[in-house]
Amino acid sequence: MTTLSERISQSAFDGSRLRVVLLLDLYDGAQNQFLEVYEHLRKQVSSVPGHISDELCQSIENPSQWLITSEWESAPRFLAWVNSEDHVASVQPLHGCVRDTRSLRFSVLRETSKDPVPLAPTVPRSSSPSPHFADRAEGLQIAPRRGDGVVRHALTFTVKPGSELEVAELLAGYASPEAQVDGSTRLRRTSLFMHGNRVVRAVEVEGDLLAALRHVAMQPEVRKLEEAINPYLEQDRDLSDPNSARMFFTRAALPAVHHVAAGGREHAELGRHALFYPAKNGCGMELARLLATQGEAAVDDPTSPIEGSTVFQRDDIVVRLLDMRGPLDARPALSLGVEGGHKAAVLARLLDSAKDGVPTTDQEISRFLARSEMRLITDRRTPAPA
């Protein structure tokens, strides 16, 4: 069985507290305006469920550089806020005084306290020589996860009904942008899917995701594509207007909330599939958590054809990306995320489209899987640098 240390894993569902770091670079002379906006924003955020605290810091080397750190009870609490329309509206005033921002999110794994805290018996003692270093089980990530140097993210938007074929042709035919962003950042893979009139673009980046997204947005071939699909979008946007473009891509963001992939196993070329799960109102995070758990079980099963599972979620939009050997329907229940126990009933309770009853038989599950499968438009990998 694949052990926890062997897995490639990222997750918003480990139960630990979250530390959010926001780096800001202000416009010249915008300090007072920024402080007013921050004070108003701070009061709003303090009432958000799951928020614990925040700090505002100014660089002692470059006064135009600022840092906001905040602590949250858990990643799901933070993501529910940061992906909401309330958050989009609340940060609008910042755009007039902030030249550049970068957001980083971290699970809390260890912490140092001035007052010794009793060690939790289930968490191993750190090798740190500090006598004040203590591991507290509550709110701490239990163990470090193994990464692969790749950041995963997705964008999603809808096009006008009836325009799906034209949009699919445009998305399939664009010229790939230059993969190398800078000395440390590279585009590794872009996968485009459609489900009805919904488009999902999943990207894998080695290095800085924000730098990669900005790099892609400036490429002539990408700008040409974006302008070509503008008339088909359900949500209007003006890419020549920075604020309009920012609002569109903010709402289109579909973060990866969980990823797991087998480690230490040799495998052949994998097929990439995507499944679309429209959750009932308010059930998106719970549905994503269910699929995350099922993804881990599938990757840990040595007989499973699934080698990797990524769950993207924003509000009630949930997408599951699978990298697997063989066809998607080889083990329909496993691919759908309902293998074992009463998982099918749980899934049906969370899905907005589950009007056909609970899929219990293999045939019903296969039909359900077929309805959920997204159409692959293009899947482009970048060759590793020599």
CATH topology of domain 13-109: Alpha-Beta Plaits (3.30.70)
| Tens-place pLDDT, residues 21-59 | 999 999 999 999 999 999 999 999 999 999 999 999 999
The strand pairing partners of 260, in sequence order, are: 9, 309
**Dihedral angle at the C-alpha atoms of 287, 281, 153, 330, nearest 10 degrees?**
40
pTM score, whole prediction? 0.88
Pairing of strands 271-278, 317-324: antiparallel
| Alpha-carbon gap, residue 287 to 344, rounded angstroms | 12
307-346: b (≥16 Cβ within 10 Å) or e:
bbbbbbbbbbbbbbbbbbeeebeebbbbbbbbbeeebbeb
Measured from the Cβ of residue 357, the count of other Cβ atoms closer than 10 Å reads 9
HSE of 127 in the Cβ direction (CA atoms, 13 Å)? 0
Please tell me the predicted confidence (pLDDT) of residue 356. 60
Section 236-261 average pLDDT: 87
The DSSP letter of residue 370 is H
Please tell me the predicted confidence (pLDDT) of residue 268. 52
| Tens-place pLDDT, residues 162-196 | 999 999 999 999 888 888 899 899 999 999 999 99
Alpha-carbon distances, residue 335 vs 132, 217, 271 (angstroms): 47, 33, 13
Region(s) of the chain under CATH 3.30.70.100:
13-109, 148-381
* Contact between residue 108 and residue 17 where contact means Cβ atoms under 8 Å apart: yes
Least confident range from 172-181, 223-232, 377-386: namely 377-386
* Contact between residue 39 and residue 98 where contact means Cβ atoms under 8 Å apart: no
| Alpha-carbon gap, residue 368 to 373, rounded angstroms | 9
Note the CATH number of domain 148-381.
3.30.70.100
Tell me: pLDDT of 266 over 90: no
* Contact between residue 355 and residue 169 where contact means Cβ atoms under 8 Å apart: no
Q: Could you give the percent of the chain with pLDDT greater than 70?
A: 89
| Alpha-carbon gap, residue 136 to 117, rounded angstroms | 7
